[in-house]
Amino acid sequence: MNRRVVVTGLGAISPLGLDVPSLWEGIVQARSAVGRITQFDPTKFSAQIAAEVHGFDAANYMDKKEARRNSRFVHFAVAAAKEALRSADFTITDENADDVGVIIGCGVGGLDNFTTYLRVMDAKGPDRITPFLIPMMIVDMAGGVVAIEIGARGPNFCPVSACATSGNAIGEAWHVIRRGEAKVILAGGTEAAITEIGIGAFASARALSTRNDDPATASRPFDKDRDGFVMGEGSGVLVLEDYEHAVSRGATILAELVGYGVSTDAYHITMPAEDGSGAVKAMRMALRQAGLEPHELGYLNAHGTSTPVNDRTETLAVKKVFGDYTAKLPISSNKSQIGHTLGAGGAIEAVIGICAMREGLLPATINYHTPDPECEIDCVPNTPRPAQFSSFMSNSFGFGGHNVSLLFKAFEA
């Protein structure tokens, strides 16, 4: 249980671009990826905006026939995983395949396929449903197809904890490697829920922003005028590796994962605990595992959804954990730029955090104009800020009361 776990590769498909360099460039530019929905006609919906992935062609990442048999969320995962492997400069062979695992989570799975074939059944009868519908829909298929595509035969499972999903995936991969059950794991999350039923359902729950007249400024975490989150999509994958294995093959080590805090509110199906107690437990657990005092943390990548309740509750929890140091702790939300990518959020944001730590630049919370007394933090407003830091925490919270905090440090031999 004392094995060190390092990050040696990063991959991402995001609304800001189709790889990690494009994602990071968008972060540096403080650019919003939110626009009017193009995947269907949103006119009749109260929320008509989203952060979509544009220009993606699954045939660039997998066989065309296999691509047709899989869902968009699976396509994203395959693309991000293959980029992460290239980034890690790691080749899977028959000799090492048993030591390579895949733990990729997803929140809601193939909503697009479900909707399509429900209509097919209504119009033409159940005999016209494709035999591939179940594997198209089920959330574990992202990790399953990735393993098939890359030939990984090690541990493979799919955490599902709503918007905390990929945080859990990365944390559980950390545990698997620490236990010595794998040497390399591709861990992260994927999501493609910008569909009529997806947008309609979240809008019905009054969770989405309806600032349709100005999409680019709709996602505004911690701002007093926030009115809900903006749906995003994409995938993030990290190559996690046993430290000794990484050193033995001469890998470039990008960061070290040193803490994984996890808890449950046991409070409400969608609302976070009002006192922030679950989030407090997760953050304190991550700090304790990392051997860090609160004042030693360099940056906090917040869950920061841009919903009135979440941002207020997360701020309260942060103040309970970090006390007076909160005023000095940079805390920003990438969701202001890429929207809320649900089950993929924690992984994409971990990728951004690692890039930020290596490049010495704090990502901004864009669209921040009106301070909220209940969210009094240094949210790195509107413009990225140069800063050298050697540790950061990434928070992910999900419907059902799931809380995850990951803590990464700059690698030291």
Active site residue 163: yes
Q: Which helix (H) or strand (E) holds 16?
A: none
| Section 187-202 average pLDDT | 97
Of 75, 245, 303, 402, which is the active-site residue? 303
State both tokens at 50: 């989203």
pLDDT tens digits for range 66-111: 999 999 999 999 999 999 999 999 999 999 999 999 999 999 999 9
Q: Find all residues with CB under 8 Å of 199, minimum gap 6, and list them.
A: 37, 42, 45, 47, 50, 208, 231
Burial of 57 (0-12, 13-18, 19+ CB in 10 A): exposed
For 393, which DSSP code?
Answer: E
- Say how many residues make up the chain: 413
CB atoms within 10 A of CB 169: 35
pLDDT tens digits for range 382-394: 999 999 999 999 9
pLDDT tens digits for range 305-315: 999 999 999 99
User: Is there a contact between 73 and 53 (Cβ–Cβ < 8 Å)?
Assistant: no
Active site residue 340: yes
State both tokens at 93: 């062979």
Q: What is the pLDDT of residue 266?
A: 95
* Placement of tokens 């595992």 in the chain: 289
* Placement of tokens 């905006």 in the chain: 49
pLDDT tens digits for range 341-365: 999 999 999 999 999 999 999 999 9
Q: What is the pLDDT of residue 61?
A: 98
pLDDT tens digits for range 135-178: 999 999 999 999 999 999 999 999 999 999 999 999 999 999 99
CATH topology of domain 1-413: Peroxisomal Thiolase; Chain A, domain 1 (3.40.47)
Q: Is the dihedral of CA 120, 121, 125, 128 positive or negative?
A: positive
Q: What is the pLDDT of residue 2?
A: 84
User: Is there a contact between 338 and 15 (Cβ–Cβ < 8 Å)?
Assistant: yes
pLDDT-derived band at 244 (thresholds 50, 70, 90) equals: very high
DSSP string, 288-304: HHHT--GGG--EEE---
CA-to-CA dists, residue 324 to 2, 313, 375, angstroms:
32, 17, 14
Of 340, 375, 379, 402, which is the active-site residue? 340
pLDDT tens digits for range 248-306: 999 999 999 999 999 999 999 999 999 999 999 999 999 999 999 999 999 999 999 99
Please provide residue 402's backbone torsions phi and psi, each rounded to the nearest 5 degrees: -80, 135
Q: What is the pLDDT of residue 413?
A: 83
Of 106, 163, 355, 375, which is the active-site residue? 163
Q: What is the pLDDT of residue 254?
A: 98
Sheet with 391-398, edge to edge strand ranges: 156-157, 100-106, 184-191, 234-242, 5-13, 255-264, 402-409, 391-398, 299-301, 331-332
Q: H helices of 125-242, where?
A: 133-137, 141-150, 165-178, 196-204
- Domain residue extents for the chain: 1-413
- Round to whole Å and give the CA distance between 302 and 54: 25
3-state secondary structure of 285: helix
- Round to whole Å and give the CA distance between 35 and 217: 10
- Round to whole Å and give the CA distance between 395 and 389: 17
pLDDT tens digits for range 101-143: 999 999 999 999 999 999 999 999 999 999 999 999 999 999 9
| Section 11-38 average pLDDT | 98
Please provide residue 405's backbone torsions phi and psi, each rounded to the nearest 5 degrees: -130, 125
For 10, which DSSP code?
Answer: E
pLDDT > 80? residue 326:
yes
Start-to-end CA distance of the chain, whole Å, equals 19
Q: What is the mean pLDDT of the chain?
A: 97
